[in-house]
Structure 1
Amino acid sequence: MVERMQNHRFQDTFPRSSSHFLWERMHGFFFALVTCTMCASAFKLQQGKSTGKGMALVVLFSISLSFSLMCLANSNDKMSLIHIENCPDHTMFFQYYYELHGEPVVLKCPSPRYKHVDFSALTHNITWYKNDSKTMILGRDEDPRIWAKGDALWFLPARQEDSGVYICTRRNNSYCAEVSIQLTVVQKAAARDIAYPQILFTFTSGKIVCPNLWEFTINRTNMELQWYKDALLLEDDSEKFVFLKESSSLFFTSVLPTDSGYYTCKMAFPYEGVTYEITRTIKLQTVEQEKRITPIIVYPTQKTTTAALGSKMTLPCKVFAGPNSKVYTDVEWLANDTTIDMVYKQNRVMEGERQETTENGENFIEVPLIFKSVEEVDFYTDFKCLAQNRYGSQVLPTRVKQEAVGLPWYIATIPVALACVILAGICIQKRWKQRTDKGYTIAKV
């Protein structure tokens, strides 16, 4: 999937300090500790009395423990925002990477421009975090597999459990810019699901490009690639294809409709005595010449996108507009066949800025749909990306599906903790009752 970046800005409004969050995180533990001490004292005082009050105190302790764990869960969510709030003026961008398990991956912290602000000057300090962690990602001395080096985050190699959101922060004394990078790592058997879409026109020459190899080809004198078509190795001496050394392109002498399909390029990447394999899968679509100027939606490729309730999300719509940049192509999003600004008047969901790019000599247009916060109503809304010019149009429907969310460990352990506390209370109660009965019998004799 070609890297996508959305220039969209959020102003986060969380004025609380980190000490405030630390207190909220700790007060649950203090509450549980004090309650436990009070319960133990109360049980000791109640040894010779009715056990009903003892059971009541057990229940009270159970409730207090549950409350403490809930406070911990709530404070944990807030703690994840601490490193974001350090930006005095927070600007959020979005970028996406789709990679294969077991292969080297490099995430780049880009230097975008937004409303006349050049973020390339913010190179004084670049830091990396994973969204669900408060620990900064350091150099290779700390972790030989995942490390940060300048504006790049390296994975040698990447694993499926590395999937998630990574945040790089560029800052200087006056401004701060953050890029939220979504990394999705899949098994090699699912390589076609994350294929890079490319388009060639029939009955003419053309080329496809093995994308995103720059970080792995720096200071290399040659670039030996192997090309496959539907898992079959392509021969270098074929009249159909032309292989050029020191090039990441595969040339077609004449493109035919039957050339459409999946192409795979592979490259060896040696690094400090270990040789890794880099694989890119390309989904080639061949288009007739007469449709050369009709817009074609190349992304999103899936009809459903999963999202967690309350999360931020961006759905990019990428459109192939052909080689003629003089033909204006309109790209917009619809919600239930109505424009986005009419359905979401509070701008909780809105269109991002239109971006026009050139790839492989062809023009592309991208307009993202931005969710500041995903709500339940979005799961029942029909979204469509519409691309049209005076020669034709195309519509791509998509739905947002709720992501299954697992419970945090401290929430999942509440029933177990309650059961243990109640069981311990019953055992202690029986023991104290036996001691009380024994003491009463001795006194009677």
Structure 2
Amino acid sequence: MVCLPLMFAMVIAAGVHGAPLLPPLPMEDGCYRVSPEVEIFRVEGEAVILHFPMFMRVLQVRKVAQLPAKYLITKNNRTDQPTYRNGGRVQQQGKELWFLPARPSDSGEYTCTYRNATYCVTGSITLHVYESSSVDIEKLSYPWPAFVGEKVEFNCPSLDCFNKTHRPIAWYKDSNPTPLQPGRDTLMIPAVKHSHAGVYTCQLTVLINNQHHKVSRAFLLHVIGSDPAITTSVPNVSTPSVPAQSSSTTLSTVSAMKPPVIVSPINGTIFESSHGSGLELFCQVHTECQQADSTVVTWLVNGLSVESSYLDRRALLGGRRVTRVSERCQIELRLDIVAITTEDEKTEMKCVTQNTDGRQEVVVMLHLEDTTFTWLVVAVLIVTCFLTVALAFLYVLFKPKTKKNMDYILARQSSTFSF
């Protein structure tokens, strides 16, 4: 008899009004918990707006945020009410937390909690604010690999939360104080060469509460391949012969270096996910530890960088992590897709790695899960349970009387009519 209620509960939990089946969320301290957002790295003295795109997408897809509720943002798992005042340096504005400007002491994990009369959901994000004198450019910058001769266009990313002023965006390379291409919001390099490699920073002024604040973003451009050879006329000059042993030693040293290898994902893998659910992709590369810093690892979407693809607003590149694995090092780059839609069907995702010792790429595909089969299985289980219960009820109702019961009934009748 438990079968039917259980199956109906599965159907109700699966979705409402034809919604797709969604994976259950883990629960912690009475609240459902969403996967953490991609970590944010910023510099002190700049305006920072924390928002929770994956968290908000989960509320939207699961149709949770339909009743009036309160959003509470706290730091480092505090349960008490924070002192975020309107007009203060740190203030909560609806579902966002504003730092005007940010300080290194603001670094930490922030939790956003949505709570109404019957439901509670939490999401978290980690903010790192660096001092100007101790900037970690590897973490602050967006990695951008490009091949020699490729056209590159940089656009200042993650600015949707700000109101830009009429002042143009200024671009700088490395530590040069002279701006590049003044007056242009997009920085373009028609044909990349190795001399273009470096850190490109865009700086702009934004307007918040009628006050001007500084914001900057940085790209770390890696150039892959060799520049075209320049042939010049060189006079014949006698060169000293190189001993065979020295040449052999040099050759063996070079050949001992192994090219980077992508260990995950496997080429041809199909990542299947239901409509509206999130997806995490991990690219793991093994390389020589002395080559780890110069080894490029990136994700491409249909041959384009994530920032230049149609997934730009729904995909976030996670931090690059390097760990020691046996005698080699492992580089891991995470790609978070906030929500899978029908537009993502058969999208080609490519993980690419390259350094001076070699290059490898792995192609995987995105596939939208067909929930028809899942619903068919649920329907079959419901019908099976219903028939089982019905047959059991009919069996009990029309169960034939046994001989022992008949003898007992006859005996009672005989005793009743005997005097």
Rg: which structure is higher?
A: 2
TM-score by length of 2: 0.48
Bigger proportion of residues as helix: 1
TM-score by length of 1: 0.45
